Structure 1
């Protein structure tokens, strides 16, 4: 009986690895993925994957290190807890006495615990939606007092402890507390902690094994991303690590040798109604955190009291700040698929690219054309991305979200911005009531020659899309929602002139069946089918038909 169970586990493990292999092989085939993956199952079997370029010459290896962005925060939190264990201060102590020369009158009631849990109200650097002007770090270093000075005089967003608002600044202050209370630099202190736990490939700032970052995904898109000096991220980012070290780190923090039982429990549990703890996010029994910086994306996740873990590190991201979040969503989606597979679920992979059965060049109404190039097709369209053809058909109002988007579009068409305010969060309410949105929309409508159509064509819990159509062109708007479904912002998503032609790659995946790969563009993907009656586009759970163009 025992041998039968063992054989079953071996077969299951091989099946699991082959499924994950197919998932990432296809992502690489489509030039989406460039990085390293580690997935460990409950039985201890480990799937490892690495692919792509570390820089212009060398390949990524399994021990290549990556900038892990905000995953740094959990290391900073652990550093703080080690000082608590040493009796230097308590978690609910106020921070000003600990900060010394870095203290501010604004922070008199802020505690260490509130910095750790993003409940301090300290506005965040690099996040415009939290009341700070947008600025980017620089390649040159910055002194800690100058960095803290950039937000030291800002008002708190709320009374400490009353709300949750993610704050990079809070973790910069935690790094300052580490320096003040340990008598060491943040870098020296953290390196001592890394060494004590055997994390020999983890460092603050790049090490000799580090990859460089790139913007873009396909080879024809790639460009070097800037490497900002990591003193700008002190405590909030800037740590480099490998998948092996991060997997070891998960084992360390789940072991009895990490801190004390009480502090270990505090470190690993949620402390807010948003599921956020001390550098961790809790959701559906999984503890995780993601990270991102220019050209880097990462995600670390595990199940407590289990050997199951998923670690993904990449050195690719979008350059456009409006699409940067899509890079994070991509890594989150891959992570979710790995967890789904660990749970025994079937996972969706990209379709296999087959040999191109070269069709004649075809033209369809609405300015769509298909032409063969090498082993793929180019789909061309005038006026907007081919991936947005669905944008010409409005949502039908099938659920609450769709009805909300329809109402928002109607209010925009009627210039009823006061009415729109009821869908907004606090800051966006102010934008609506102040008339700022009215001014901005007037300018956007002008681009189209006076938009006379507002078509809400897509919505999910994170964002919705609305198409403005006028005689001079098409303008797509993206509407972002917060966790409560309130509008956080409305931005231009792309303007398209009627005579401007945009092309995208389409891959053959079957008999007269093609796949429009939107991911490298930050766009939704679609399946195309050529029939005797024309072209069918399957996208966003809808089918759009296009007739052949008459000769």
Structure 2
């Protein structure tokens, strides 16, 4: 018989592992029959924005039916204007609470591009450089210097951001004897003495721990805790429904989380309350511990687009810094699991969907990030040139197809705006 700690460790391992693999679904975008006119997947001609929205909503219903997700929330903006948003289903099955546009969800790994955006503000201020060795910002007593084949090597800030540092990858044992701390710097000690997986800059390994180290760097540079610094960041950019999920956080409209355990309870969603009680997000905040709404993610995406368009009055970072963030950093790593249609930059996946993969797409270049935990699946996509931002959340773990929803919505709605 498994102990409850072992079971929860298995769940959490699967959670964080799937978080890194959730985005592979972009290669399976349905081959909708787009021609000179726009059509949905049933062949119905689309002549107006209401028609397009109706078809997207139908597709969302198909995804919800197939996945059994209790709820789904979707928002899309084009050229800075919110075009459509809607919530379906129940955020709390036990109490019959319907999901709404203010429902707060765990972002999971979409926390990474938000953490990266804060780092970018420090780059613009000259407080951090992407090529800084992390020993410049983290005391060696907290994270010792590293060696490879007997030679001292430097891990850079940029290598943490693009997962090429060779730092710890999440395993089952990570959540045995869970360490509780007050901030990210305290939490990096658990894996600080581990050997590197490879020489920094020579390979790719998706590392949540690398973003823990970034949290410690933020604390070093700011002189404040990660959670306090992020609170000030959210306030500055009017992300008023975005939070660091601390253990004492009390929120209205917080979603409950569910997972489908087919092998035990066929076709039944079960709550993840046991997992939630034992899962401490302290230290994991920079990689997966933020909460938000789809509307706040739309705001965040438009701030990023403003940086891309060099609109300095309403942006988070400079165009030059964003351009460096969106350089493809994994092109030469054959083991990168999202090739050939995606690469990773600093905190973002960078996609080009070729005509060979899907000949019907009109818009092939975008950046994105997904997130997955036992009771949450999230997806954020930005088309910088077209100025499209779409966000979609589910309160069920590992829901396939959220990326398809976002891409189908962008393709369907954009021509009518």
Does the pair score TM above 0.5? yes
Match of 2:378 among 292, 298, 312: 298
> Do the aligned partners of 2:143 and 2:188 also contact (CA within 8 Å) in 1?
no
Alpha-carbon distance in structure 1 between the residues aligned to 2:240 and 2:136: 34
Structure 1 residues 120-199: aligned runs within 5 Å: 120-124=165-169, 126-127=170-171, 133=173, 135=175, 144-145=184-185, 147-199=187-239
Work out whether 1:329 is the aligned partner of 2:400: yes
Q: Give unpaired runs (5+ residues) of structure 1.
A: 1-9, 318-326, 345-551
Alpha-carbon distance in structure 1 between the residues aligned to 2:411 and 2:178: 39
SS of the residue corresponding to residue 53 of structure 1 reads strand
Larger Rg: 1
Alpha-carbon distance in structure 2 between the residues aligned to 1:90 and 1:45: 35
- Cα deviation, 1:404-459, whole Å, max 9, x if unaligned, reads xxxxxxxxxxxxxxxxxxxxxxxxxxxxxxxxxxxxxxxxxxxxxxxxxxxxxxxx
Q: 1:112 to 1:139 in 2, by over 3 A?
A: closer
- Cα deviation, 1:48-85, whole Å, max 9, x if unaligned, reads 22112222322211111110011101111111121222
Alpha-carbon distance in structure 2 between the residues aligned to 1:16 and 1:40: 14
> Do the aligned partners of 1:39 and 1:309 also contact (CA within 8 Å) in 2?
yes
Match of 1:14 among 38, 44, 50: 50
Alpha-carbon distance in structure 2 between the residues aligned to 1:237 and 1:211: 16
Residue equivalent to 1:116: 161
Residue equivalent to 1:88: 127
Deviation at 1:229, TM superposition (A): 2.3
> Do the aligned partners of 2:70 and 2:91 also contact (CA within 8 Å) in 1?
no
Query: Relative to total residues, which structure has the larger strand share, 1 or 2?
Result: 1
Q: 1:164 to 1:340 in 2, by over 3 A?
A: same
SS of the residue corresponding to residue 288 of structure 1 reads strand
Q: 1:138 to 1:154 in 2, by over 3 A?
A: closer
Work out whether 1:34 is the aligned partner of 2:71: yes
Match of 1:221 among 257, 265, 269: 269
> Do the aligned partners of 1:24 and 1:33 also contact (CA within 8 Å) in 2?
no
Residue equivalent to 1:244: 295
Q: 1:139 to 1:98 in 2, by over 3 A?
A: closer
Work out whether 1:79 is the aligned partner of 2:115: no
Aligned residues: 321
Structure 1 residues 108-507: aligned runs within 5 Å: 108-124=153-169, 126-127=170-171, 133=173, 135=175, 144-145=184-185, 147-205=187-245, 207-216=251-260, 220-225=268-273, 226-227=275-276, 228-255=279-306, 256-257=311-312, 258=315, 259-273=317-331, 275-284=343-352, 285-317=365-397, 327-342=398-413
Deviation at 1:144, TM superposition (A): 3.7
Provide the TM-score with structure 2 as the length reference.
0.70
Work out whether 1:106 is the aligned partner of 2:146: yes
Deviation at 1:252, TM superposition (A): 0.6
SS of the residue corresponding to residue 378 of structure 2 reads strand
- Cα deviation, 1:224-264, whole Å, max 9, x if unaligned, reads 34222221413111110111110011111111233222112
Q: 1:272 to 1:138 in 2, by over 3 A?
A: same
> Do the aligned partners of 2:69 and 2:395 also contact (CA within 8 Å) in 1?
no
Q: 1:42 to 1:89 in 2, by over 3 A?
A: closer
> Do the aligned partners of 1:69 and 1:291 also contact (CA within 8 Å) in 2?
yes
Match of 2:87 among 50, 54, 64: 50
Alpha-carbon distance in structure 2 between the residues aligned to 1:338 and 1:155: 45
| Cα root mean square deviation, aligned | 2.7
Q: 1:25 to 1:249 in 2, by over 3 A?
A: same
Residue equivalent to 2:13: none
Alpha-carbon distance in structure 2 between the residues aligned to 1:169 and 1:221: 30
Deviation at 1:24, TM superposition (A): 2.1
Alpha-carbon distance in structure 1 between the residues aligned to 2:410 and 2:228: 35
Q: 1:88 to 1:137 in 2, by over 3 A?
A: farther
Alpha-carbon distance in structure 2 between the residues aligned to 1:149 and 1:60: 39
Alpha-carbon distance in structure 2 between the residues aligned to 1:139 and 1:90: 30
- Cα deviation, 1:364-423, whole Å, max 9, x if unaligned, reads xxxxxxxxxxxxxxxxxxxxxxxxxxxxxxxxxxxxxxxxxxxxxxxxxxxxxxxxxxxx
Q: 1:176 to 1:140 in 2, by over 3 A?
A: closer
